[in-house]
Amino acid sequence: MLKRMFLAVSVMGVISGLIAKDDVSLERRIGQMLMVGFYGTTAKANTQICQDIKRYNLGGVVLFDYNPVDKNKPKNIASKKQLAQLTKELQACSQDGKLLIAVDQEGGRVQRLKSIYGFYGKFPTSAQISKLNPSQIKTTYRKMGLELQGVGINYNLSPVVDLALNPRNQVIYGLGRSFGKDPKSVAAFASIFIDAMHQHHVLTSLKHFPGHGSSLGDTHKGFVDVTHVWKETELEPYRLLKAKADTVMVAHVFNQKLDPDYPASLSFKTVTQKLRQNLGYRGVVVTDDLQMGAISQKYGLRDTLKLVINAGNDLLLFGNQLDPQKAVSTKTLVGLIAELVKSGEIKEENIDKAYRRIQRLKEKL
């Protein structure tokens, strides 16, 4: 009797696994792995972005205010009313109403919701936050979360948990984007940030794994080698917050101590072995923008996609923001990844794992 019951349960498990996989085409499972930037302040049914969300089951979009093509026009963010309408239209294009709609809203120089568009726009830097008491910090970040929720943004690509280890670092230290140099206090501040976002149904992302605080260069502009300055302690905030983090964003820094061949975002040794296996992180891994100079100057699109998925990343970010000449369409990305799966250069199993992790993340919404 028990044997028959066990067999029935096993068969049901296999069937449900097959349904979960076969129910969604390869193309639409791949689509869930993409988070793209686009040009436009509306997403009506006839717009390209809406059609891409519908056709390819796009996982997410990332919004920007600055328009690199026409500085006199906003890219996606013009006003509170317009942004609330845009996010509503974007969700209406999605199958599940759980499209990830992301912005970088850290505070200081990095806040997309600016006062010129009718938002508060004066959130302090992480360095300034670290000087406030816990009650003030909670109030500040709850205000931020409420503002994001009010306009339909459900994913904040923050907090920064890089350590302030290098005063000559311009991209983290110089902009006050770090909470400090002590990993425990950095994790504590980041924890308050995450709680405040969660109160307003906004997901978060720890960044930039495995640590950008010790670097000298800027991965937006090109290759950055942290081999001789990086310290093991930079992993500690991720270890402390692994159970709480919604997602972890991987940087494009090159670190020979972790991988002698590839930058972090393209590295199986960094993403799968270090972050997942050694540190025990189980959630979604998102890449930093794959059009940044550190990647685009050295790797073609096909190789980037092959390496980044085989490394173990789940959500691939293409901001279409840094170089208008290199904007890439969702159709191109889905087509290339599907080709790589069919040729055996990417295991379909990697697509399935990423798809499942993204579905679990979306259940939090």
- The separation between CA 151 and the C-alpha centre of its own chain, rounded to angstroms, equals 19
The rounded mean pLDDT for the chain is: 93
- Mind spelling out the 3-state secondary structure of 57-86? CCCEEECCCCCCCCCCCCCCCCCHHHHHHH
In a domain, 4, yes or no: no
Give the residue numbers annotated as catalytic, written as ranges.
Answer: 220, 288
pLDDT tens for 208-262 read 999 999 988 677 777 889 999 999 999 999 999 999 999 999 999 999 999 999 9
What would the pLDDT profile of 122-176 be if each residue is shown by its tens digit? 999 999 999 999 999 999 999 999 999 999 999 999 999 999 999 999 999 999 9
* Structural domain contains residue 66: yes
Q: Give the Cα separation of 273 and 271 in Å (integer).
A: 6
Residue 19, pLDDT score: 38
Which strand (E) or helix (H) includes residue 310? Answer: helix 301-311
**Residue 339: exposed, middle, or buried by beta-carbon count in 10 A (0-12, 13-18, 19+)?**
middle
* Residue 57 in domain: yes
pLDDT band at 7 (very low <50, low <70, confident <90, very high): very low
12 within a domain of the structure (yes/no): no
Pairing label, strands 34-36, 316-318: parallel
Q: Has residue 16 got a pLDDT over 70?
A: no
Summarised one tens digit per residue, pLDDT across range 53-76 is 999 999 999 999 999 999 999 999
102 and 35 Cβ atoms separated by less than 8 Å = yes
On whether residue 101 sits in a domain, the answer given is yes
| Confidence at residue 11, expressed as pLDDT on a 0 to 100 scale | 41
Q: Which tens digit of pLDDT belongs to each residue from 299-346? A: 999 999 999 999 999 999 999 999 888 899 999 999 999 999 999 999
- What six digits make up the tokens of 301? 């699109």
Q: Which domain holds residue 228?
A: 27-362
Is residue 77 a part of any domain in this protein? Answer: yes
Q: Which two tokens stand for residue 98?
A: 């759980």
Per-residue pLDDT of 266-275, as tens digits, reads 999 999 999 9
Mean pLDDT over 7-30 rounds to: 61
For the chain, the domain total comes to 1
Residue 273 lies in a domain: yes
Element (H, E) at 203: strand 203-209
The answer, yes or no, to whether the previous bond of 263 is cis (omega within 30 of 0) is no
Domain at 224, CATH number: 3.20.20.300
Strands ordered across the beta sheet of 34-36: 284-287, 247-250, 203-209, 155-156, 100-103, 60-62, 34-36, 316-318
Radius of gyration of the chain (CA): 20
Residue 115 lies in a domain: yes
